[in-house]
Amino acid sequence: MMSMDLNSDMGESYGVYKLGCDEESMPYVTSINVACGFHASDPSNMLKTIRLAKKYGVAIGAHPSFPDLVGFGRRIMACSSEEIKADVIYQIGALWALCKTEGLTLQHVKVHGGLYNAAAKDIVVATAIAEAIKAVDSSLYMLCLGNSLMVTAAQNVGVKYVEEAFADRAYTNQGTLVSRKQPGAVIHDVDIVARRVLSMVKEKSVKSIEGIDIPISAQTICVHGDTPGAVGMIKAIREKLEQNDIKLAAFGR
Amino acid sequence: MMSMDLNSDMGESYGVYKLGCDEESMPYVTSINVACGFHASDPSNMLKTIRLAKKYGVAIGAHPSFPDLVGFGRRIMACSSEEIKADVIYQIGALWALCKTEGLTLQHVKVHGGLYNAAAKDIVVATAIAEAIKAVDSSLYMLCLGNSLMVTAAQNVGVKYVEEAFADRAYTNQGTLVSRKQPGAVIHDVDIVARRVLSMVKEKSVKSIEGIDIPISAQTICVHGDTPGAVGMIKAIREKLEQNDIKLAAFGR
Amino acid sequence: MMSMDLNSDMGESYGVYKLGCDEESMPYVTSINVACGFHASDPSNMLKTIRLAKKYGVAIGAHPSFPDLVGFGRRIMACSSEEIKADVIYQIGALWALCKTEGLTLQHVKVHGGLYNAAAKDIVVATAIAEAIKAVDSSLYMLCLGNSLMVTAAQNVGVKYVEEAFADRAYTNQGTLVSRKQPGAVIHDVDIVARRVLSMVKEKSVKSIEGIDIPISAQTICVHGDTPGAVGMIKAIREKLEQNDIKLAAFGR
Amino acid sequence: MMSMDLNSDMGESYGVYKLGCDEESMPYVTSINVACGFHASDPSNMLKTIRLAKKYGVAIGAHPSFPDLVGFGRRIMACSSEEIKADVIYQIGALWALCKTEGLTLQHVKVHGGLYNAAAKDIVVATAIAEAIKAVDSSLYMLCLGNSLMVTAAQNVGVKYVEEAFADRAYTNQGTLVSRKQPGAVIHDVDIVARRVLSMVKEKSVKSIEGIDIPISAQTICVHGDTPGAVGMIKAIREKLEQNDIKLAAFGR
Is D234 a member of any domain? yes
- Alpha helix stretches (DSSP H) within chain B: 22-25, 43-56, 81-100, 113-121, 123-136, 149-157, 190-202, 228-243
Asked if D17's CB is within 8 angstroms of B14's CB, the reply is yes
Residue D8 has pLDDT above 90, yes or no: yes
CA distance D167 to chain B (A): 23
pLDDT at position C1 is 82
Asked if C78's CB is within 8 angstroms of B76's CB, the reply is yes
CB D56, CB D8: distance < 8 Å: no
List the single best residue of B38, B39, B65, B68 to mutate versus C (max C Cβ within 10 A).
Answer: B68
Element at C241 (helix H, strand E): helix C228-243
- Out of D16, D42, D70, closest to residue B15 by CB: D70
**How do the residues of chain D divide into helix, strand and coil, expressed in percent and rounded to 5?**
40, 20, 40
Q: In terms of Cα–Cα distance, which of B55, B59, B115 is closest to B87?
A: B115
Where does residue C17 fall: left (phi above 0), alpha (psi -120 to 50 degrees), or beta otherwise?
Answer: beta
Residue numbers in D near A78 (CB within 8 A): 75-77, 114
d(CA B107, CA B96): 10
Residue numbers in D near A70 (CB within 8 A): 67
Work out the number of other CB atoms within 10 angstroms of the CB of residue B123: 14
| Blockwise average pLDDT, block size 10, chain C, 253 residues | 95 97 97 98 98 98 98 97 98 98 98 97 98 98 96 98 96 92 94 97 96 96 90 96 97 92
d(CA D118, CA C122): 46
Asked if D47's CB is within 8 angstroms of C89's CB, the reply is yes
CA distance D195 to chain C (A): 41
Provide the number of CB pairs (under 8 Å) joining chain A to chain B.
81
pLDDT at position A159 is 98
From start to end of B152-223, where are the E strands?
A: 161-166, 205-207, 213-215, 220-222
Chain D CB within 8 Å of residue A78 CB = yes
**How do the residues of chain B divide into helix, strand and coil, expressed in percent and rounded to 5?**
40, 20, 40
Dmax (CA) for chain D in angstroms is: 49
Is A253 a member of any domain? no
pLDDT at position B93 is 98
Chain B CB within 8 Å of residue A90 CB = yes
Asked if D135's CB is within 8 angstroms of C82's CB, the reply is no
Burial of A158 (0-12, 13-18, 19+ CB in 10 A): exposed
d(CA C110, CA A132): 46
DSSP designation for A58: -
CB C69, CB C40: distance < 8 Å: yes
**With bands split at pLDDT 50, 70 and 90, how would you rate the model's confidence at D228?**
confident
Burial of A185 (0-12, 13-18, 19+ CB in 10 A): middle
Chain B CB within 8 Å of residue C187 CB = no
Residue A104 has pLDDT above 90, yes or no: yes
- The segments of chain B whose pLDDT lies below 70 read none
**With bands split at pLDDT 50, 70 and 90, how would you rate the model's confidence at D253?**
confident
The β-bridge partners of B108 are: B61, B141
Name residue C144's amino acid: C
Residue of A nearest to D79 (CA): A75
From start to end of chain C, where are the E strands?
A: 3-10, 31-35, 59-63, 106-109, 141-145, 161-166, 205-207, 213-215, 220-222, 247-248
Give Cα D162 distance to the centre of its chain: 10
CA distance C97 to chain D (A): 5
pLDDT at position A25 is 96
Burial of B103 (0-12, 13-18, 19+ CB in 10 A): exposed
The residue-averaged pLDDT of A189-203 equals 96
Residue numbers in C near D92 (CB within 8 A): 97
Computed over every residue of chain D, the mean pLDDT equals: 97
Residue numbers in A near C39 (CB within 8 A): none
Characterize the bridge pairing of strands A247-248 and B213-215: unpaired
Characterize the bridge pairing of strands D220-222 and D161-166: parallel
CA distance A41 to chain C (A): 9
Q: To the nearest whole percent, how much of chain D has pLDDT over 90?
A: 95
Work out the number of other CB atoms within 10 angstroms of the CB of residue D123: 14
Is D177 a member of any domain? yes
CA distance B63 to chain D (A): 17
d(CA C13, CA A18): 11
Residue of C nearest to D42 (CA): C87
d(CA A31, CA A22): 12
Which pTM value belongs to this model?
A: 0.97
Dmax (CA) for chain B in angstroms is: 49
**With bands split at pLDDT 50, 70 and 90, how would you rate the model's confidence at D227?**
confident
Is B15 a member of any domain? yes
d(CA D103, CA D92): 16
**With bands split at pLDDT 50, 70 and 90, how would you rate the model's confidence at A188?**
very high
Residue numbers in A near C70 (CB within 8 A): 14-15, 42
Instruction: Give SS3 for A53.
Output: helix
Q: What is the 3-state secondary structure (H, E, C) of A77-138?
A: ECCCHHHHHHHHHHHHHHHHHHHHCCCCCEEEECCCHHHHHHHHHCHHHHHHHHHHHHHHCC
CB contact burial D160-191 (16+ within 10 A = b; e otherwise) = ebbbbbbbbbbbeeebbbbeeeeeeeebeebe
Asked if B70's CB is within 8 angstroms of C77's CB, the reply is no
d(CA A116, CA A126): 8
Q: Please count the structural domains in chain B.
A: 1
Q: To the nearest whole percent, how much of chain D has pLDDT over 70?
A: 100
- Out of C70, C71, C79, closest to residue B75 by CB: C79
Q: What is the CATH number of the domain that holds D198?
A: 3.20.20.370
**With bands split at pLDDT 50, 70 and 90, how would you rate the model's confidence at D3?**
very high
CB D119, CB D142: distance < 8 Å: no
Residue of D nearest to A74 (CA): D78
Instruction: Give SS3 for C76.
Output: coil
CB C252, CB C141: distance < 8 Å: yes
For residue D234, give its domain range: 2-248
Is B253 a member of any domain? no
Is C30 a member of any domain? yes
pLDDT at position A227 is 84
Burial of B245 (0-12, 13-18, 19+ CB in 10 A): exposed
Residue A142 has pLDDT above 90, yes or no: yes
D81-129 pLDDT tens trace? 999 999 999 999 999 999 999 999 999 999 999 999 999 999 999 999 9
CB C96, CB D93: distance < 8 Å: yes
CB D18, CB D44: distance < 8 Å: no
In Å, how far are B118, C33, C158, C162, C197 from C155, measured between CA atoms? 34, 22, 5, 11, 26
- Out of D42, D43, D90, closest to residue C97 by CB: D90
pLDDT at position D225 is 86
CA distance C126 to chain B (A): 18
The β-bridge partners of D162 are: D143
Chain D CB within 8 Å of residue A114 CB = yes
Instruction: Give SS3 for A220.
Output: strand
CA distance D232 to chain C (A): 32
In Å, how far are B28, B84, B168 from B196, measured between CA atoms? 18, 35, 8
Is C88 a member of any domain? yes
Q: What is the 3-state secondary structure (H, E, C) of D194-234?
A: HHHHHHHHHCCEEECCCCCEEECCCCEEECCCCCHHHHHHH
Chain C CB within 8 Å of residue D86 CB = yes
CB B78, CB C75: distance < 8 Å: yes
Is D253 a member of any domain? no
